[in-house]
Structures are given as structure tokens and as C-alpha cells.
Structure 1
């Protein structure tokens, strides 16, 4: 078994009404429960736009922590799930299920080292 991360950027969700987003809560929660029942869910969660963001950079030799994302950042993480599955095909299956449940694209990376 290997860990894969399935994630989406908030900008991938598209422009929808609050009612539309609320209509996605049950289908996406159902997929999360399905993953838990299947024993593949490791950890996951969504991130709201108003959460605190800090950037840490040690490339200069000194660690500098600043408030907020880098100015040039155009996209930011909207949410993610870590799954423990036997192969990338299974991770892609769960990414597809999440895309259906959420109503927006998902991306798979891994295995996580």
C-alpha cells in the first residue's frame, strides 16, 4: 500500500451560488464516508478562503516567516485527502469519485514518499 494525495485548488471550483456549493456537501461527504468505510482514508479536509496563511522561506540561509501567501500566487489549495491504496489506478478511481461528489476537478500525486 502507498499514500497518494488527492487535492484541488480553490479556483478549480468555478463560480457558483452559495446554494450550489451547499448542494455539494452531501455528495462529497458521502464519498468521504465511502473512503473511510473502504479503509483507504488517511486524512483530509477542506480549507476556507479566510483561513490564516503564512509562508516560510529558508532559501536565503535564514528562515523568514511572513503572513499571507506569496504575492505572485494565483491559485491556492482548496482541500485535500490522503489515501492509502495499493496503486495509482486505485488513487485515480478515488479522485474520480471525489470529482463527481464535489463537482470540480481533482488532481492525484504520489506515491507520497
Structure 2
């Protein structure tokens, strides 16, 4: 099994009224329930949209600098993510499609590299 990240950038959501968003609650939670039932869900969640609540950490200068707000050069920012543990790319793409259907906006799916920090922590 391999872990895959399914995610969207907030800018991909588009402009919709509150009723549209409320209409996405049941379809998107149904997909999460389905992933739980299938035993593939590791984590799913959306992020706070208020950028003033974000912080950035940068240690590239040799000194760690933590600042308020997103990284200054960022034009897009992460809106939410799902992590699934599935046997192959085809299955990961299936779930990415299901998440896209449930949410109503595009998703990207990428496999985590082998030898991830999580694997190392598990020993």
C-alpha cells in the first residue's frame, strides 16, 4: 500500500453563494464516510481560509524566521487535503475523482515518496 495526497488550492474552488456550499456538505461527507468504510482514509480536512491566521517558517538563511501570514511569494494556497492509503495509482485517482465530485471543484493527487518520514518514524 502507498499513501497519496489528494488536495486543492483555494483558488480552484471558484465563487459560489452560501446555498451552493451547503449543497456540497452531504456529497463531500458521503465520500469521506465511503473512504472510512473502505479502510483507505488516513486523514481529510479543509484549512482555515483567513490568511491572517497563517504563519510561515523559513530557515534557509541559517536562522529560523517565523512570520505572520503566508509565504510572501505565494499566489495560490492550499485549501484542503485528504490522505489515502491505497494499493496503486489507479485507486488513488479513483478516490481523487470521488473527492472532486463530492466537493464540486478540482483535486490533484500525488503519491508520497517511498522512505517518507512517517515510514521512518514507524521503524
Pairwise TM-score range, normalised by the shorter structure:
over 0.9
TM-score, normalising length: structure 1: 0.95
- What is the root-mean-square deviation of aligned Cα atoms in Å? 1.1
Structure 1 residue 50, shift from structure 2 partner? 2.2
Deviates more, 1:72-81 or 1:45-54: 45-54
Deviates more, 1:35-44 or 1:68-77: 68-77
Distance, in Å, in 2 between the alignment partners of 1:87 and 1:5 is: 13
Structure 1 residue 73, shift from structure 2 partner? 1.3
Structure 1 residue 48, shift from structure 2 partner? 2.4
Q: State the match for 1:100 in structure 2.
A: 101
Q: State the match for 1:79 in structure 2.
A: 80
Q: State the match for 1:32 in structure 2.
A: 32
Deviates more, 1:64-73 or 1:5-14: 64-73
TM-score, normalising length: structure 2: 0.88
Residue ranges of structure 2 left out of the alignment (5+ in a row): 117-123
Q: State the match for 2:70 in structure 1.
A: 69
May I ask how many residue pairs the two structures share in their alignment? 113
Residue ranges of structure 1 left out of the alignment (5+ in a row): none
Structure 1 residue 71, shift from structure 2 partner? 2.3
Distance, in Å, in 1 between the alignment partners of 2:106 and 2:50 is: 22
Q: State the match for 1:17 in structure 2.
A: 17
Distance, in Å, in 1 between the alignment partners of 2:93 and 2:112 is: 12
